[in-house]
Structure 1
Amino acid sequence: MSTSRYVLSYGDAFVDYIARTHENKEFDLYLGGATVNVAAGASRLGLPSRFITITGDDEVSDFVRAQMAEEGVDLQHAVFSPNKRCTSVYVHLTEESDRIFANYIDPTPEIQVRPEELEEEAFEQAVTFHFCSGTMFHPTALETTRRAVQLAREKGVLLSFDVNVRPLRWETEQRCRETILEFMGLSHMVKMTREEMYFLMETEEFEVGIERLQQFDIPLVFLTDGENGTVCLVDGQQIHAPVTPVVPVDTTGAGDAFIAGVLYHVFHNGFPETHAEVLECASFGNKLGALCATKQGALTAMPRLEEIEEL
């Protein structure tokens, strides 16, 4: 077994069909998915990055594996199932060039990574394990996530959770909320937007949301708020990390870039213990998110380490 450390992520590998013009008749194919973006974003920062997912025996899966390899993401712990077909997301453009998610197609929702297919050794040398709620609406994916979190905690791996609220994928909003809250309480670092906090804490008042959130005793919460920066919740206190203003072009992958930045900081410096370390960690994540927002695309816009000095 290798003794080298790495960051580990788990999730669904999507393919995004993004319209070339607002006529929405011709599309370009891109690799996508929130956890994919984080895994690739971490790799672009120079971190050894491994990703657990499931792919099949078809051209789209070949594309996914080739793109992940090109991004330097290690798929040695991924599962191959010949009949699996990757989820497709069709993205249309408005006349103002804004992106709208037009269609979500999962041809084989019943084929997921199963709990027993997780390799324990994948967690042995992982520094962090990152996951999100994107596939938890599926019973098998939910059980696999529970098993992965259990393995990570047993091995002393730091858990990074992006709540990534997508209510329309769930049977009910309440089931979505309850499932996400379960995993928040098990994680060391949780990232959410202000709007996601309002949804999860069932309030539209910021301070009420903060008060309810702190009852979960999460060691570190990142509340990202775009151009307003990030509010970090730690030890019952709020730490505000401002962000350098940029002219946004596309904010699709900014949150994923933020997480990649946090994982980079934790990989090299350990879990942030002091307020100064928390501020430094969030500020680095903010830089990555801001840089990502200045470019078109999500994964294609994930910054590289040498670009950070540009901001």
Structure 2
Amino acid sequence: MVQSNKTHVLTYGDAFVDYIADNTTNSSFSMFLGGATVNVAVGVARLGVPSAFITITGDDTTSEFVRGELKKEDVIMDYAKLEPEKRVSGVYVHLTEDHDRIFHRYIDDAPDIQVAVHDLKEEAFQKASILNLCSGTMFQPTALETSRKAVEYAKKHNALFSFDTNIRPLRWKSEAECRETISSFFKDADLLKFTEEELTFLTETQSVEEGLAKIAHLDVPVILITAGADGTYAVLNKQLQHVPVEPVVAVDTTGAGDAFMAGVLRYVHLNGLPTTMESLVRCTAFANHLGALAATKAGALTALPRLSELKVT
């Protein structure tokens, strides 16, 4: 770790629950912790790095389940908010006769109860080596305001800012609002992560090269564009390098991007932001490996690897 006072990786976002059918009758369901930012926070903790999570939960059994599971994963919840009326969002996942998964019904009974600006504790940012956000809650006005304040606090306390665009198109009123809101965070980012599709969508271009040219004026130090089985395009100070990934037999790619991000955040926490192409390739190759491992198992959180399963130092 570069600075001794920077004790943890900090993630802000929504907790989420997957209700997955126990069989193809779709009449009974088991509850699993889920959501992109949850996956990243847990993924970082499983990689042996202190991981703190800013989120909001309620007083019902589902919220108790979420808090209990995060505690089991050693995620630091000191900066999270408990609001009795809050209800954690979720999705019911049905199984077809062929055992394919279908997202049947989303539930969000308290969408306007969010972490507010005044709920943020500056201590969380003082101790953070890096703040990681994704766009999953930014369609909601309070969450958007809180996201902007979180970035402000990160900059104030010399924490790096990592932004995984992680677009969920159906949550936005329009493509234009989605593009404008998400893109407004780019100028403050020390590290940006896209999929190929997200980069071309947000920049309204047709290729990775065109998309990067469109945002080149922002001078983002590190940009990572994941391309699934084709690996990742790593960009350091506008220099592009392709980093391949070892081929695997993919069982379920759900959560592979979150495993990738957890790997990147671990590297940055321990080594600082890459400043040479050699160090960026090393960081990206490690993250690629984690993403590939996650794709070989079913589920998202269940597939995230642990440090004990890896040959790393």
Distance in 1 (CA, whole Å) between partners of 2:185 and 2:69 is 30
Which of these residues, 163, 172, 175, is aligned with residue 174 of structure 2?
172
The residue that corresponds to 2:135 in the other structure is: 133
The residue that corresponds to 2:91 in the other structure is: 89
The residue that corresponds to 2:231 in the other structure is: 229
Distance in 1 (CA, whole Å) between partners of 2:101 and 2:165 is 22
Residue identity in the other structure for 1:54: I
The residue that corresponds to 1:154 in the other structure is: 156
- Is 1:295–2:265 an aligned residue pair? no
The residue that corresponds to 1:199 in the other structure is: 201
The CA deviation string for residues 49-70 of structure 1, in whole angstroms up to 9 with x for no partner, is 1100001111000000000000
Distance in 2 (CA, whole Å) between partners of 1:56 and 1:279 is 42
Q: CA deviation at 1:89?
A: 1.4
Distance in 1 (CA, whole Å) between partners of 2:200 and 2:24 is 33
Distance in 2 (CA, whole Å) between partners of 1:93 and 1:147 is 41
Distance in 2 (CA, whole Å) between partners of 1:183 and 1:24 is 41
Q: CA deviation at 1:308?
A: 2.3
Residue identity in the other structure for 1:44: R
Change (3 A) 1:28 1:181: same
The 10-residue stretch of structure 1 (300-309 or 119-128) with the greater mean CA deviation from structure 2 = 300-309
8 Å contact from structure 1 (residues 51, 77) kept in 2: yes
Distance in 1 (CA, whole Å) between partners of 2:97 and 2:229 is 24
Which of these residues, 298, 306, 309, is aligned with residue 308 of structure 2?
306
Distance in 2 (CA, whole Å) between partners of 1:194 and 1:139 is 27
Residue identity in the other structure for 2:62: V
Distance in 2 (CA, whole Å) between partners of 1:306 and 1:235 is 34
Change (3 A) 1:101 1:217: farther
Residue identity in the other structure for 2:61: E
- Is 1:49–2:51 an aligned residue pair? yes
8 Å contact from structure 1 (residues 8, 126) kept in 2: yes
The residue that corresponds to 1:29 in the other structure is: 31
Distance in 1 (CA, whole Å) between partners of 2:8 and 2:132 is 12
* Structure 1 segment 175-186 matched on structure 2, within 5 A: 175-186=177-188
Change (3 A) 1:183 1:94: farther
Q: CA deviation at 1:223?
A: 0.3
The residue that corresponds to 1:66 in the other structure is: 68
Distance in 2 (CA, whole Å) between partners of 1:252 and 1:136 is 21
8 Å contact from structure 1 (residues 287, 308) kept in 2: no
8 Å contact from structure 1 (residues 24, 93) kept in 2: yes
The residue that corresponds to 2:82 in the other structure is: 80
Normalization by structure 1: what TM-score? 0.96
Q: CA deviation at 1:234?
A: 1.6
8 Å contact from structure 1 (residues 114, 140) kept in 2: yes
Structure 1, unmatched stretches of 5+, are none
Distance in 2 (CA, whole Å) between partners of 1:220 and 1:99 is 35
Structure 2, unmatched stretches of 5+, are none
8 Å contact from structure 2 (residues 236, 275) kept in 1: no
Distance in 1 (CA, whole Å) between partners of 2:107 and 2:246 is 37
The 10-residue stretch of structure 1 (209-218 or 276-285) with the greater mean CA deviation from structure 2 = 209-218
Residue identity in the other structure for 1:217: D
Change (3 A) 1:218 1:97: farther
May I ask how many residue pairs the two structures share in their alignment?
A: 309
8 Å contact from structure 2 (residues 6, 126) kept in 1: no
Distance in 2 (CA, whole Å) between partners of 1:89 and 1:61 is 14
Q: Over the residues paired in the alignment, what is the CA RMSD in angstroms?
A: 1.5
The CA deviation string for residues 255-299 of structure 1, in whole angstroms up to 9 with x for no partner, is 000000001111111110000000000000001101111111111
Q: CA deviation at 1:4?
A: 6.1
Structure 2 counterpart SS, 1:190: strand
Percent identity between the two aligned chains: 54
The 10-residue stretch of structure 1 (102-111 or 201-210) with the greater mean CA deviation from structure 2 = 201-210
The residue that corresponds to 1:38 in the other structure is: 40
Residue identity in the other structure for 2:250: P
The residue that corresponds to 1:278 in the other structure is: 280
The residue that corresponds to 2:240 in the other structure is: 238
